[in-house]
Each structure stands twice: as structure tokens, then as C-alpha cells.
Amino acid sequence: MTSTYPAADVTPSAESSSSAVSWGPIIAGASAAATLTFVLMLLGSGLGLTMVSPWSNESASVTTFAVSTAIWLVIVQWLSSGLGGYLTGRLRTRWVGIATDETFFRDTAHGFLAWAVATILVVSLLGSALSGVIGTGAHAASTVASGAALGASAGATANAGSDNGSDATSYFVDALFRPSDPAQLAAPGAEGNAAAAAQASRILIASAAAGEVSAPDKAYLGQLVAARTGLSEADATARVDAVLAQINDAKVKTQQAADAARKAGATFALLGALSLMIGAFIACVAAALGGRQRDDEETLYLRERR
């Protein structure tokens, strides 16, 4: 005895021929986000320049400037990504016959794509302009923070090829050969200080590169200072010690400024990456919110027409 069963329905389900990605709303939202980003960057740069000043003790530190800039980047991402994502969600066409979960996923995906396109636009098209605007404030902040200490210590190595006292060690060389009697500067033999100054400059530069002044160099500097200034050997040695202490203080200040700039750069990079992740999240949420409001408004409109 044989049994017959009805044939199984193997007809494939119908699929839409259109893509689930609506590039029109994505590009519109990304354009709005990129434009708002540029405007807010200009505003933030103006506010940042008010934090720096060429006058001593009237400017924010490099760390404060970098943290404030990073916080402003978070605000910029929050506002621009929210606007771009919301416009993307509101401007897309209504999907018919799509489950609620799928609609939510598509809206968040559209918001993420709008954020990604806006980020690419800002980096590729507006990157040079933003770098110039922000770089002005950053350069001013770093200059004020480092001050003359950068030129006093770091410049000694950079000018290692100089044979006269016109490089960054000039001040210290002048301090070494300052005569006990200022009238000696007007003496006919004052030009002889040039050779001694050049020799002392080379010793100071070599010592800066080595990290310390050797005992023979230090003793020779004392003898050279005593011979050129008329000081006693003990007083000349004391002057050499005082000048070397000033050089060491300038070096320490330079290292502290460099370390502060390094920490500020690391903080800026980390908070910058955090701001981008926040922007992506805000864009997804805003797009989902905009899409839901659009569907609710259209549903309410259709009900009122019936």
C-alpha cells in the first residue's frame, strides 16, 4: 500500500530588487555633520586661542590646553554626529514589509555610515584647513609653555657647528667672561675675548651633548675665566659652577616641558579616539530616533486621512 503526500512548496520567497542602503539620506546627513564640524572647529579654535598668552603666568598650561581641546572634540562629535544621524533617519524612505528589529538595524547602520562618510570628508577635504586653524593655537600654547628654556638647552646641541658665541650658549658664555671691572670691555684688547668665548662655547656644547662637564674641561674653564676676567682662580671656579648650574636648570625645565607636551599629546590622542567612538554611537542612536519619528509621523498622517 502506497501513500501519496502533497508536494512541498519550494517556491522561493520574493526579494526586493532595491538595496537596503539609502545613499541619498546618508550623504545628506554626512554633509550636514561635516559642515557643523568645521564650524564648531573654528569656534573651538577661537576659544582655544583665548587660553594662551605671550605674557608670563597668564596662559593655560599645555596639558590644560590639550585636555580642553579633547573635551571640545567630544562636544563637536556629539553635536555634529547627532545632527547628521538624525537627518539621515528622517530623510530616508519608509521601508514597507520590514520587521521592527530590521528597521531598527537599518536605521542604526545608516547613522553609522553617515558618521563614517562625514569623518572621511572632514579628514580628506577639511583636514588641511583644520590643521592650520588648530595648529596655530597649539603652536602658541607650546611656545608659551616651553618658554626660553627650550632655546637655552636644546639649542646648544642644534647649533653644535657654530664657532662663535652667537648660538644658544651666548648668554652663559657672556656670564663666564663678564669682567670684574666693566671698564675692561672698552679696552683695546677686548676683542681677544672672542677666541676664548668660541672655545668655551665648544666646551659647553660638547658637555651638553655628553650630559655632563668633565673634570678637565671644568678646570680649564675656570683657568680660562680667571685669565680673561681678572678674577682669582677660586672666584672663577665659583662662577663656572654657577653658570653650569644655570645650564642644568634650563635643561631640567626643557625636559619638564617636553614631558608635559608628551603627556598632553597622549591625552589628546586618547580622548580624540574616544570622541570618535562617541560620535559613531550618537549617530546610530540619532538615526534610529529620526527613522522612528518619521515612521510614526507618516503612520499618524495616514490614519488622519482615512
pLDDT tens readout for residues 48-63 = 655 554 454 555 565 6
Greatest Cα-to-Cα distance within the chain, rounded to the nearest angstrom: 136
Degrees (nearest 5) of the Cα angle 114, 285, 271? 75
Residues 142, 154 within the same domain:
no
Tell me: do 29 and 99 sit in the same domain.
Answer: yes
- Residue 8 falls inside a structural domain: no
Q: Which of 230, 219, 247, 241 is nearest to 178 (CA)?
A: 230
Q: What share of the chain is helix, strand, coil (3-state, %, to 5)?
A: 75, 0, 25
- Summarize pLDDT for 107-143 with one digit per residue, the tens: 999 999 999 999 998 888 765 655 554 555 555 445 4
Tell me: pLDDT of 187 over 80. no
Total domains present in the chain: 2
Domain termination site, one of 237, 253, 269 = 253
Least confident of 10-14, 37-41, 211-215, 258-262: 10-14
Among 128, 150, 144, 119, which residue's Cα sits nearest to residue 48? 144
User: pTM here?
Assistant: 0.58
**Final residue of a structural domain among 238, 253, 268:** 253
Tell me whether residue 299 is in a domain.
yes
Is 12 inside a domain boundary? no
257 pLDDT higher than 80: yes
Residues 6 or more apart whose Cβ sits within 8 Å of residue 152:
168, 171, 247, 250, 254
Between CA 200 and CA 173 the distance in angstroms is 7
185 and 226 housed in the same domain: yes
The mean pLDDT value of the chain amounts to 73
136-145, 203-212, 239-248, 281-290, range with the lowest pLDDT: 136-145
* Cell numbers describing residue 45: 579654535
**Both 120 and 163 in a single domain?**
no
In a domain, 35, yes or no: yes
Q: Determine, yes or no, domain membership for 10.
A: no
Please tell me whether residues 264 and 215 are part of one structural domain: no
- Same domain assignment for residues 158 and 242: yes
As given in the structure block, the three cell numbers for residue 125 are 577635504
Q: In whole angstroms, what is the distance from residue 48 CA to residue 124 CA?
A: 23
Asked if 34 and 81 count as a contact pair (C-beta separation under 8 A), the reply is: no
Are 68 and 108 part of one and the same domain? Answer: yes
Query: What range defines the domain where residue 298 resides?
Result: 23-147+260-305
